[in-house]
A = this chain, B = another copy of it.
Amino acid sequence: MRSVTQPPVVIELPAWADDFVAAAVTAPTDEARMRFVIELARRNVVARSGGPFGAAVFESGYAQPLAVGVNRVEALNNSCLHAEVVALMAAQVRVGSFTLRDDGISTRTLFTSCAPCAMCLGAVLWSGVGRLVCGATREDALALGFDEGPVFAESWSYVEDRGIEVVHGLLAAEARAVLAQYRAAGGLIYNR
């Protein structure tokens, strides 16, 4: 017989993230915010606390992120914990709603250091963010050996048709450098 109660799933950032996030103040530009999530990804690689991916939800009018995420797949034994999912879940807990839909005062944007996989693109769609800004591209992730799942041109159209503005390839070279750093460090490609 199996144990009869199902333990809760608890999702936390790595220990290094607390201080980093507490100190986070970004200029209200897409570039500054992208640099921030790339730095999250880089620190995740250096600390060996997960895959080379970072994400954060920012709002217009706030210098600090609403919530951040880094890849936690290996560390927390949970293949759903891509950086985007971690950030979106945390942002919703913080606002106390299952949607981050614009409240008329602020617009919420997900920044991610790499274009989302199929799972994360779906998660973005349900999250209520109004914008998605991506660093490295799907091709960059594939080149590293990560699968990105069934994401097609019409997948992006589907998301944009539902009112989500998408920016591709912002500071892609800087974002790509973190992927290269992960490869050089011998990081695990967990879904090859």
Contact = CB atoms under 8 A, between A and B. Distances in A.
Contact of A80 (B22, B64, B85, B121): B85
Interface in A2-59: 2, 4-13, 17-18, 21-22
A94 B4 CA distance: 12
Stoichiometry, copies per complex: 2
B4 A18 contact: yes
A125 B190 CA distance: 12
Interface in A141-184: 147, 149-152, 154-155, 158-159, 162
A104 interface: no
B11 A8 contact: yes
Interface residues of A, number: 64
A132 interface: no
A125 B79 CA distance: 9
A126 B79 contact: yes
Interface of A: 1-2, 4-13, 17-18, 21-22, 62, 64, 66-68, 73-74, 76-80, 85-86, 88-90, 92-99, 117-123, 125-128, 147, 149-152, 154-155, 158-159, 162, 190-191
